[in-house]
Chains A and B, each alone.
Chain A
Amino acid sequence: MSVQTVSDVKATGPNEHGYRRFSLGELTFARDEYFVYIKWPTGRHVMSADGFLRALQRDVAWEFFYGIVNFDGVIGTVNHYGTVDLFAGRYNDAYRKAELDHLENFPTPLIKATFKAILEDWTNSTFDPFASPHETGTAFGPKAGDNRAAVTRRRVAAKRMVGVPEDEALRSDANGFPINRHFVDVPQDEPEVVVEPGFEGQVSAFNLFAYLSRSNVTWNPSVVSVCKDSLYCPTTEEYILPIIHGNDRVEWFVQLSDEIYWDVEDRDTGAVRAKVVMKPGDVAAMPADIRHQGYSPKRAMLLVWENASPDLPALIASGKAPTNPVNF
Chain B
Amino acid sequence: MTKYVTRFGSLASYEKGGVEIIDDDPKRYAFSNIFEVASRSKPYAKVAVGKNMQYVLEVIRAEGTSEWRAAAHDEFALVMDGEVEIRLLKLADPSGVRPNHEGSIRLSGEPAGRKMGRVRARRGHMTLLPAGAAYQFHADRPGVVLLQTIAGQDTQYRWSEICQTM
Contact = CB atoms under 8 A, between A and B. Distances in A.
Interface of A: 160-162, 164, 181-187, 189-196, 198-199, 202-210, 213, 224-230, 232, 249-250, 252, 254-259, 264, 271-287, 290, 298-299, 305-307, 309, 312, 321, 323-328
Interface string B1-43: 0001111110000111111111110111111111110000000
A203 B6 CA distance: 29
A246 to B, nearest CB: 15
A187 B125 CA distance: 11
Contacts, number: 237
B128 A204 contact: yes
B130 interface: yes
Q: Which 4 A-B pairs have the closest CB atoms?
A: A209-B124, A280-B9, A281-B9, A277-B17
Contact of A283 (B22, B50, B157): B50
B160 interface: yes
B109 to A, nearest CB: 21
A325 B51 contact: yes
Given A204-B128, A227-B150, 17 more contacts: A161-B128, A183-B4, A191-B127, A193-B118, A196-B117, A199-B117, A203-B116, A206-B125, A207-B126, A209-B123, A227-B73, A228-B150, A230-B52, A276-B29, A307-B55, A328-B27, A328-B159
Nearest to B123: A209
A184 B8 contact: no
B110 to A, nearest CB: 16
A254 B29 contact: no
Contacts of B23: 271-274
B92 interface: no
B31 A282 contact: yes
A224 B9 contact: no
A196 B116 contact: yes
B17 A279 contact: yes
A182 B5 CA distance: 8
13 contacts: A164-B128, A199-B114, A225-B128, A232-B148, A252-B52, A257-B8, A277-B20, A279-B14, A280-B9, A281-B34, A282-B33, A307-B52, A309-B53
